[in-house]
Amino acid sequence: MKRLRDDPHLRPLFVLAACAVGLALVDARDFLTVATAASSLETFATIGLVALGLGLTMMIREFDLSVVGMYSMAGCIAVVMGGTYAWLGLACALAAGLAAGLAQGWLIVRLRLGSVGVTLGGLLVFAGIAYVVTENRALPYENMEVALGLSAPVGGIFSVRSIVAIAIFAAAALVIGLTRYGRDIIAIGSDRRAAMTAGVNVDALVIGIFGFSGFCAALSGALLSYSLASASPAGLSDVIVPAAAAAILGGVSLAGGTGRPLGIAMGVLSLAVLRAGFNAVGAPPYVNEVAMGTILLLVAVLDSTYLARRLQGLVRRVH
């Protein structure tokens, strides 16, 4: 029982249950509906893949700030290039995301730079491109068939977008759970020098993970723009706040070396249920923003390096 309680990967399950029960207590009739489940999964599709990419970079003790910029830029690329053929726009957006992610990883590894600095530059460059392309307005996407097709319900509560997100989560969970990449990632996050000594190809894996993070952000950005039938530059807090909160809720630590894709998925799902629940019970939009900010602040405190030491100090002072 103690082992169960201390397992960080179970944390998101408790949070998810608490969110669901809490919202059901507030307004069961509006919350416990198929519509809420479907809207949760749509939010899952919107922030899930970003959280997965960001979470993986956190697992190797880096941080990919550029995901928000990539998210906006990929949406613009997809809408601009995909006017006639939606797949062409998607392919261009994904290629840009992968290439930009790999380039950032290469800079970090080759020039031995901090990932926050490099991805801060990446964030501004990508967001800047999105602003320049869209002229800070919403760019319309004329291909309504694609837009409707992506959002159309599949099997009651799913949509193409959420199925894509779930499939990528499943693939990531399989690769990390069953191949040596999973152990290598944990090893890099725990002690990079030891991992290198043990024969892990650290540089290649770091570059690869940044590439994957760029790819994930581009995929969800492009699909979101298609389904909304427009592209517009996203604010920083819209995506990265829930994504970072979901990753940490899901058992990833900023200190690196812990976490797994299923945990991140549960973290995303709890925040998605929370957001859908706020909508269902008719809360004003700022409630969601305040809640996400508060949750991120709380998990940052729970994840902080000196929390245990400070609490012990306080307890000692009381006695």
191 counts as binding another protein under rule CB under 8 A: no
Residue 74 Cα distances to 34, 60, 71, 135, 153, angstroms: 31, 25, 5, 15, 24
Distance in Å, CB of 274 to another protein, minimum: 14
Distance in Å, CB of 127 to another protein, minimum: 5
**Element containing residue 231 per DSSP (H, E):** strand 230-231
Q: Which of 15, 240, 274, 276 binds another protein (CB under 8 A)?
A: 240
Nearer to another protein, 4 or 111 (CB): 111
**Separation CA 61–CA 209 (nearest Å):** 11
**Separation CA 241–CA 43 (nearest Å):** 13
Nearer to another protein, 87 or 286 (CB): 286
Nearer to another protein, 137 or 180 (CB): 137
**Separation CA 16–CA 266 (nearest Å):** 7
Is residue 298 within 8 A of residue 252, CB to CB? The reply is: no
Is residue 237 within 8 A of residue 38, CB to CB? The reply is: no
Tokens of residue 289, six digits: 């923003």
Distance in Å, CB of 179 to another protein, minimum: 29
Q: Which of 90, 129, 176, 200 binds another protein (CB under 8 A)?
A: 129
- The partner residues of 158 in beta bridges, in order of sequence, read 154
Tokens of residue 274, six digits: 């929370």
- Half-sphere exposure of residue 92: CA atoms within 13 angstroms, side-chain side: 16
With CB under 8 A as the contact rule, which of the stretches 41-49, 117-125, 182-190, 217-225 interacts with another protein? 117-125
177 counts as binding another protein under rule CB under 8 A: no
Q: Which of 10, 125, 157, 281 binds another protein (CB under 8 A)?
A: 125
* Binding mask of the shown chain, residues 261 to 290, with x at each position contacting another protein by CB under 8 A: -----------------------xxxxxxx
Nearer to another protein, 173 or 271 (CB): 271
307 counts as binding another protein under rule CB under 8 A: yes
- The partner residues of 140 in beta bridges, in order of sequence, read 230
Q: Which residues in the 34-73 window bind another protein by CB under 8 A?
A: 63, 65
Task: Identify residue 17 by its one-letter amino acid code.
Answer: A
Is residue 159 within 8 A of residue 150, CB to CB? The reply is: yes
Is residue 148 within 8 A of residue 161, CB to CB? The reply is: no
**Separation CA 5–CA 7 (nearest Å):** 6
Distance in Å, CB of 172 to another protein, minimum: 22
Distance in Å, CB of 97 to another protein, minimum: 16
The footprint of another protein (CB under 8 A) covers: 63, 65, 107, 111-114, 116-118, 120-129, 131-132, 135-136, 236-237, 240-241, 244-245, 248, 254, 284-290, 292-294, 296-297, 300-301, 303-307, 310
